[in-house]
């Protein structure tokens, strides 16, 4: 117990008010896009699988990690491994500075107004659960409604189901078209005086659909309804500006953004976070504790109970800086080229149907092969060194809506190449040969 602090956590620097003192320094300057150079930064991509060069096309499930992220995590454990916000010694001060630097990096990445609006969590799932169990419990009552859509990941369905069961509320489901576009007219018709929240994906993990989130927020806010966006698939593929979008909550996961697993972040407007009660109790989320009463810490620490994933947060900051160093123009152009090339390639194969042809989409190619279960497709492709995902992609209601039990999904990243798409095409043609299609 410290004689200087009376056993309380060591004081920490207050988060900087970015709205008051201007934007954070810009991220690393982007360099000309060179996929071969970029691939050299990802050690795992050098290996062979089943005697073939690895073509990793499962990025929507989890992206690979550049050396910069691996080294950032290693540096924490070799140079500063210590708890944050608690110690008066040098290692704790280094760890705290690095941890809070990553928070500022996330704030800049999302263009949030204030570092206090960024809460570190395990990922998108925990972030949505936090909102459901704090803001949701405060604001949702019997007879109220929460609007989601037919394209949701289970992580943006089940927390709201649990909340509705507890509070006596109900879910309303906004429909999509056969192509995978959200029907804005139907969404708007669902909004009524009982609607308490709209919770939708910015980008669909199973279809690649990019939803018109600014327009959705305008519609919802016009009815006085806040909006939560599941940004797990948006953050790796699109520049995100939460203030321009106008959303009230935005959640994303580090491991899909080339960062470590078990780390992510929730953006929420500071005024909302101030009103929300803590979800978990423990160390560092308190200002003072007695057996009679506990006073909670300031935001965002009120929502970060216990020792956080310090190495993960530092790795997430490194991942964001890596992406910023490549630059969004190059990333978006390259991934669009891959998507166009893949769409042409798969469309040229008889018996193959692409599932998800929305007007606006990112680099996801979900497909079915006539007469072949997607699991068999995935197994044969693995024999060609091609890693894809096969199944319902944690979106069973969407599969039901589309009338398929599952799909095969190739999800692309800026480190993928046209040659890997060609390997995918070759593998799918082999699937058809094996099954006599």
- Identify the active-site residue in 68, 394, 399, 404: 394
Q: What contacts 20, CB < 8 A, 6 or more positions away? A: none
Q: Is 164 a catalytic residue?
A: no
Q: What is the DSSP letter of 417?
A: -
Q: Can you say whether the dihedral through the CA atoms of 140, 142, 143, 147 is positive or negative? A: positive
Cα–Cα distance, 54 to 48 (Å, whole number): 5
Are the beta carbons of 237 and 361 closer than 8 angstroms?
no
- Compute CA distances 18 → 11, 14, 114, 120, whole Å: 21, 12, 5, 18
Beta-bridge partners for 296: 286
CB-neighbour burial class of residue 76 (10 A; exposed 0-12, middle 13-18, buried 19+): buried
Are the beta carbons of 300 and 273 closer than 8 angstroms?
yes
Beta-bridge partners for 391: 407
Both tokens assigned to 149: 């859509």
Cα–Cα distance, 300 to 198 (Å, whole number): 23
Catalytically active residues, by annotation: 394
């Amino acid at each position: 117990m410290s004689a200087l602090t009376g056993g309380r956590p060591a004081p920490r620097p207050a988060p900087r008010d970015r709205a008051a003192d201007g934007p954070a320094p810009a991220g690393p300057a982007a360099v000309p896009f060179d996929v071969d150079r970029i691939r050299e930064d990802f050690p795992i991509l050098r290996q062979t699988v089943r005697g073939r060069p690895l073509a990793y096309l499962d990025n929507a499930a989890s992206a690979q990690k550049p050396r910069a992220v691996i080294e950032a995590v290693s540096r924490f454990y070799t140079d500063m491994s210590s708890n944050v916000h608690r110690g008066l010694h040098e290692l704790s001060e280094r760890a705290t500075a690095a941890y809070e630097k990553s928070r500022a990096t996330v704030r800049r990445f999302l263009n949030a107004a204030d570092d206090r609006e960024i809460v570190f969590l395990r990922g998108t799932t925990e972030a949505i659960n936090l909102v459901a169990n704090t803001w949701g419990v405060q604001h949702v009552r019997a007879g109220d409604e929460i609007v989601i859509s037919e394209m949701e990941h289970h992580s943006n369905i089940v927390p709201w189901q649990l909340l509705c069961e507890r509070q006596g509320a109900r879910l309303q489901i906004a429909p999509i078209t056969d192509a995978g576009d959200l029907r804005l007219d139907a969404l708007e018709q669902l909004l009524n005086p009982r609607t308490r929240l709209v919770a939708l994906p910015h980008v669909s993990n199973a279809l690649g659909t990019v939803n018109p989130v600014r327009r959705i927020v305008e519609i919802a806010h016009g009815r006085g309804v806040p909006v939560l966006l599941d940004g797990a698939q948006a953050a790796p593929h699109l520049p995100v500006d939460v203030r321009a979008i106008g959303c009230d909550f935005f959640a994303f996961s580090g491991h899909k953004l080339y960062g470590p697993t078990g780390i992510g972040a929730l953006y929420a407007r500071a005024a909302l976070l101030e009103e929300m009660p803590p979800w978990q109790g423990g160390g560092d989320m308190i200002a003072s504790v007695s057996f009679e009463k506990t006073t909670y810490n300031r935001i965002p620490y009120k929502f970060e109970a216990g020792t956080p994933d310090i190495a993960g947060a530092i790795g997430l900051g490194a991942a964001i800086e890596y992406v910023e160093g490549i630059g969004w123009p190059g990333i978006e152009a390259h991934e669009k080229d891959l998507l166009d090339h893949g769409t042409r390639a798969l469309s040229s194969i008889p018996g193959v149907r692409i599932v998800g042809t929305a007007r606006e989409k990112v680099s996801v190619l979900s497909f079915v092969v006539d007469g072949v279960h997607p699991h068999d497709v995935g197994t044969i492709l693995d024999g060609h060194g091609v890693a894809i995902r096969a199944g319902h992609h944690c979106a069973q209601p969407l599969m039901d809506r589309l009338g398929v039990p599952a799909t095969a999904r190739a999800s692309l990243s800026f480190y993928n190449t046209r040659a890997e798409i060609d390997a995918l095409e070759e593998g799918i043609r082999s699937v058809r040969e094996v099954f006599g299609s």
